[in-house]
Structure 1
């Protein structure tokens, strides 16, 4: 699925975070128990284009763009940390009438899912964490650098998009990166507003927002569905989560780096469906 085709399916609502009213875009298809997919940095809901639609026959599938990303609000002047993103998705869930969800989170989206599962244990039935930020596993230096105002001030749009393209091509598993995927992820940042938004997103990566929670307090049935060859969030963190969460299992997908839904979509779908149907 191409990026334009994906974004044409998105809806939007106004969520409130720290007294800021912000537009939040999201995909909402299917009927049944709610199944939420949340991306990380520097991606968007487009990360799930090969995964989420496959579940709409059996679930109500909801895939937000976090605020500051994708088709959601990108203007300056609001917090984009995972603490703020948790508030944003919680408000979205309330507006959509979702009392409880199955929550699938990648990267920062996994950190949001962890916080939400700890703070709202009755609201998360199942939790799936894919190469998720946790403990003190983050941020990585490359993202921190993007968060420094001087870094963005020294770039133009072509510089930034070229950098991001090189990062994706270097960190997708194998030699044949999907150009639609790379273009879709990079295009959201290809403006002055997008550059500043990415920088603010990057500086909002606050280690304290996962070190302050008790990961062992997660009550939801949990699966770590992890790209086994991740250089950003190594699988050792998934093993630590498996040890700390009472009802947790780990599935490591070989031949998958950090972008595991993109590297191994078929295997990802199969493992996720098997877990949800247990």
Structure 2
């Protein structure tokens, strides 16, 4: 699997208008066939999907953006990073790429973006996969709320923030001996002062109103709720609630998997996703 530097080298970039701001959006775009978008959450980036992409791109066009404020997308101050704004980013990026309908796979905040996109544009999303996603009032968790405090960056600096993130990633993986590739790859995007401030801005932009205001009944996409069942951040009870509110939705729980389900159970996650999207 690619290192985080190799992943970066494979990314393309497009300029997208978000709330009147021209922002650079880095994205991976490979494969052919019907397009599928994979969207990460906080505090990750598109590299989260590095092990998932190879199981799809033989049959599907796979588009994997860095949300604005994350990864290799724009990180400067002066724009909104909420999931409402990320929804606008996705819409603008797909317009730039000439894509009208997609399958949408979202994790964490990316799942919240997917819910908004599928609710507001039901004709544009054929299939929706949500993995340990934010929904209703399930977020933000305390750790993310604390990252949004200016004092977190001011008092800890880049090195201190790296230590905090290291602990977060390791604590929330099911395996007591996690992949160093995953931990180091996730931390890599936050290794500058500008990036540390961007993470603070991303965290403070978390807004529960952006999922509580949704009309979940407007979502027409065939939906799979592919969930790590040991997650304390986004418990599987929220997947069960979504199943009740989304017509025909199915919950598939993966045991021995916490929040980073595609890292904890990579083979099972790939198989379930491919079964739903391809086979």
Under a length normalisation based on structure 1, what TM-score does the superposition of the two structures give? Answer: 0.99
Alpha-carbon displacement from aligned partner over 1:37-91 (angstroms, at most 9, x marks no partner): 0000000000000001221110000000000000000111110000000000100
Q: Secondary structure at the match of 1:223?
A: strand
Do structure 1's residue 163 and structure 2's residue 164 form an aligned pair? yes
- Residue 116 of structure 2: aligned partner: 115
- The offset of 1:175, in angstroms, is 1.3
- Residue 94 of structure 1: aligned partner: 95
Distance 1:170 1:249 in 2: 28
- Residue 6 of structure 1: aligned partner: 7
2:109 touches 2:134 (CA, 8 Å); kept in 1? Answer: yes
1:256 touches 1:263 (CA, 8 Å); kept in 2? Answer: yes
Do structure 1's residue 79 and structure 2's residue 55 form an aligned pair? no
Do structure 1's residue 48 and structure 2's residue 59 form an aligned pair? no
Distance 1:187 1:275 in 2: 32
1:254-273 superposed matches below 5 A: 254-273=255-274
2:40 touches 2:110 (CA, 8 Å); kept in 1? Answer: yes
- The offset of 1:277, in angstroms, is 3.5
Q: Secondary structure at the match of 2:190?
A: coil
Q: Secondary structure at the match of 1:226?
A: strand
Distance 1:84 1:60 in 2: 24
Under a length normalisation based on structure 2, what TM-score does the superposition of the two structures give? Answer: 0.98
- The offset of 1:218, in angstroms, is 1.0
- The offset of 1:216, in angstroms, is 2.2
Q: Secondary structure at the match of 2:201?
A: helix
Q: Secondary structure at the match of 2:98?
A: coil
2:217 touches 2:247 (CA, 8 Å); kept in 1? Answer: yes
- The offset of 1:188, in angstroms, is 0.7
Distance 1:200 1:277 in 2: 37
Distance 2:108 2:18 in 1: 21
- Residue 253 of structure 1: aligned partner: 254
2:228 touches 2:255 (CA, 8 Å); kept in 1? Answer: yes
1:1-278 superposed matches below 5 A: 1-277=2-278
Q: Secondary structure at the match of 1:114?
A: helix
- The offset of 1:275, in angstroms, is 1.1
Structure 1 gaps, min length 5:
none
Distance 1:118 1:73 in 2: 26
Give the count of matched residue pairs: 278
1:102 touches 1:124 (CA, 8 Å); kept in 2? Answer: yes
Which range moves more in the overlay, 75-84 or 52-61? 52-61
Distance 2:192 2:277 in 1: 39
Q: Once superposed, which parts of structure 1, at least 4 consecutive aligned residues long, lie more than 4 Å away? A: none
RMSD of aligned C-alpha atoms?
A: 0.8
1:219 touches 1:247 (CA, 8 Å); kept in 2? Answer: no
- The offset of 1:174, in angstroms, is 1.4
1:53 touches 1:61 (CA, 8 Å); kept in 2? Answer: no
